[in-house]
Amino acid sequence: MSGRHFLQIPGPTNVPDRILRAIDAPTMDHRGPSFAALTRDILEHLPKIFKTEQPVLIFPASGTGAWEAALVNCLSPNDRVLMCETGQFASLWFHLAEKLGLSPQVIPTDWRRGADAAAIEERLREDTAHQIKAVCVVHNETSTGATSNIRAVREAIDRTGHPALLMVDTISSLASIDYRHDEWGVDVTVAGSQKGLMLPPGLSFNAISQKALATAEHATLPKAYWGWREILNANATGHFPYTPSTNLLYGLKTAVDMLLEEGLDSVFQRHARHAEATRTAVRAWGLEILCLEPAEYSNSLTAVLMPEGHDADQFRKTVLEHFDMSLGNGLGRLSGKVFRIGHLGDFNDLMLAGTLSGVEMGLKIAGIPYKVGGVQAALDYLASGSSPD
């Protein structure tokens, strides 16, 4: 097909040309002074994206690596971990904890809403012996398009006086949805490069509190590659304890520069505006948004339920074949039931208009029952200059 492919999954996202040009450079000596200067620049400015003054560690890994790093650095075998199953990725984090020899406890949901702070508070109040060592929450569940109120979770933990660490997955929310590591009292923030940071997959991150760092000194789960202390010691001289993803770090510096140039508040407002325009289209089509709570709607993606009797994967195939556009598939228990529209990262009004046009034309070609006019409703919203509350 002529023209560019529309990559509208919720990550990996489109990589802007400026970042591609930064990555497309000769590989430098990762033990030399020029690389040390690059590392120091990144480590100085990257924490601003997390809204923290604490260290942010960088791993050559996907987000799954950052999950593991958070757990193995802070916990010991058989430690209890309280986890909220808000969707497929929260479930995968739970299974990872099991494989590591932890004892995760789950607060289930219907996969249509975020974490329940009241339920977390109740579980912690019951744990009078303080056997639960960490609470793990996914800020933005990529499989469902539902966010969790991390401030409310922190307040719930504080009301109980429980000493458990708070670990938060921001893989599909960092640099897309407002997030405040320090202000919200998060102990470990998990993130990845391939979504709001606008990079290819291959880098992951742990932002860590001083409480988490102190806890790590006594944690006994095996760790080598993921060890925080070794990375922090090497970072002090601008280096890493192993060969880093050199060219991705070039891109990371540029990504951080771009986000700070635009301003994080503007970045978040842009995502909120595109998300509301997308939801406006979905409502106009007469389709159902998977997330049930408007206060928990994701600004990174929108998961759309297919009408009964219609297969979401077949619809996605139709859109790909006719318009060269990739939409996100349903994951886990949502397989075949939803499609997901990614609207995060390097994205603007015209890209959204093209995305929604492809969806609406695909609905017609695939014979999905819908109402005409979703694209127009979204365009009217964008042209009005409105912004969500």
pLDDT band at 315 (very low <50, low <70, confident <90, very high): very high
Are both 73 and 128 inside the same structural domain? yes
- Rounded to an integer, the average pLDDT of 96-110 is 97
Domain stop point among 233, 261, 289 = 261
Q: What is the pLDDT of residues 24-80, one digit of tens each?
A: 999 999 999 999 999 999 999 999 999 999 999 999 999 999 999 999 999 999 999
Q: What is the pLDDT of residues 1-12, one digit of tens each?
A: 899 999 999 999
Domain stop point among 261, 289, 320 = 261
- Given this model, what pLDDT does residue 161 score? 98
The rounded distance, in Å, linking the Cα atoms of 167 and 148 is 13
Cα four-point dihedral sign 19, 23, 29, 30: positive
**Average pLDDT over the chain, rounded to whole?**
97
pLDDT above 70 (res 125):
yes
- Given this model, what pLDDT does residue 140 score? 98
In a domain, 204, yes or no: yes
Cα four-point dihedral sign 195, 197, 199, 200: negative
The two three-digit tokens of residue 245, written as one number: 């993803």
Cβ–Cβ < 8 Å for 198, 172: no
pLDDT above 70 (res 288):
yes
* % of residues, the chain, pLDDT over 90: 98
- Rounded to an integer, the average pLDDT of 131-145 is 98
| Domain count for the chain | 2
Which CATH number belongs to the domain containing residue 134 in this structure?
3.40.640.10
- Given this model, what pLDDT does residue 146 score? 98
Are both 255 and 141 inside the same structural domain? yes
Are both 224 and 320 inside the same structural domain? no
The two three-digit tokens of residue 319, written as one number: 């859109």
Q: What is the pLDDT of residues 177-191, one digit of tens each?
A: 999 999 999 999 999
- Rounded to an integer, the average pLDDT of 353-358 is 98
Provide the pairing of β-strand 103-108 with 80-85.
parallel
Q: First CA to last CA across the chain, in angstroms?
A: 40
301 CB-side CA count, 13 A: 33
pLDDT band at 91 (very low <50, low <70, confident <90, very high): very high
pLDDT band at 389 (very low <50, low <70, confident <90, very high): low
The two three-digit tokens of residue 210, written as one number: 């001083």
- Given this model, what pLDDT does residue 364 score? 98
Structural domain boundaries enclosing 144: 17-261
HEC string for 168-215:
EECCCCCCCCCCCCCCCCCCEEEEECCCCCCCCCCEEEEEECHHHHHH
- Rounded to an integer, the average pLDDT of 230-242 is 97
The rounded distance, in Å, linking the Cα atoms of 42 and 188 is 19
Which CATH number belongs to the domain containing residue 361 in this structure?
3.90.1150.10
In a domain, 1, yes or no: no
- Rounded to an integer, the average pLDDT of 268-281 is 98
pLDDT band at 388 (very low <50, low <70, confident <90, very high): confident
